[in-house]
Structure 1
């Protein structure tokens, strides 16, 4: 019975935690590195938003850039 109560407590705790977090996207394009914040997204959504979107001088490059997503 104690194991069951412990199991229910663990599952309830995990259910209450949010998977959405704040992230930093860092991209390198042509030797220049830029980074920007992505807030309130899951890791999968943040990576999709970050992937290949380097921005230099207000111009966004979607190909040829290398991007990484890190938790803030």
Structure 2
């Protein structure tokens, strides 16, 4: 998934903020938007860590790195 697609997905979550939408990639992440705090929450399923982001760009960058990890040979 490229960064443009990720940011469009995040915009959609804001657009439907009155609904509860959770994007899940099994054994990797859960993503949701919290209307009350106006934040994106990324739950890393393997270890249960939850990260909170306040804007589309920061959340998008974090998701991109999770979905497209840099391999040592890419460095």
Asked if Structure 1 and Structure 2 have the same fold, meaning a TM-score greater than 0.5 normalized by the shorter chain, the answer is no
Q: Comparing both chains, which one has the higher relative contact order based on Cα–Cα distances under 8 Å and sequence gaps of 6 or more?
A: 1
The structure with the largest helix share of the pair is 2
Larger radius of gyration: 1
Larger strand fraction of residues: 1
User: What TM-score do you get using the length of structure 2 for normalisation?
Assistant: 0.28
